[in-house]
């Protein structure tokens, strides 16, 4: 799977309120038109609450 650009991911999550659960993050990314690659990566992150955007990027980085 191709790596996603952290900047692209944060654009897809623009406007989300943290802390946010994995479900919140997925729903928000889809609403903002995230591409399939980003959605697939977000589906793989641990099911937990994320306090800030860098926590999401860190979780994605640990997948790859």
Q: pLDDT digit string (tens) for 28-60?
A: 999 999 999 999 999 999 999 999 999 999 999
Residue 20: HSE in the Cβ half-sphere, 13 Å Cα cutoff: 21
Q: Which of 11, 22, 15 is nearest to 55 (CA)?
A: 22
* Separation of alpha carbons 2 and 14, rounded Å: 22
Eight-class DSSP state of 18: S
Judge whether residue 64 has pLDDT over 70.
no
What is the per-residue pLDDT for 31? 97
Mean per-residue pLDDT over the chain, rounded: 92
CA angle in degrees (0–180, nearest 5) for 50-55-59: 100
Asked if the model's pLDDT at residue 1 lies above 60, the reply is no
Higher-pLDDT residue of 2 and 6 is: 6
- Domain locations in the chain? 6-63
């Amino acid at each position: 799977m191709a790596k996603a650009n952290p900047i692209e991911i944060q654009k897809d999550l623009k406007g989300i309120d943290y802390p946010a659960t994995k479900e919140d993050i997925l729903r928000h990314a889809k609403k903002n038109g995230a591409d399939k690659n980003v959605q697939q990566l977000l589906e793989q992150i641990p099911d937990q609450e994320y306090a800030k955007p860098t926590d999401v990027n860190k979780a994605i980085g640990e997948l790859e």
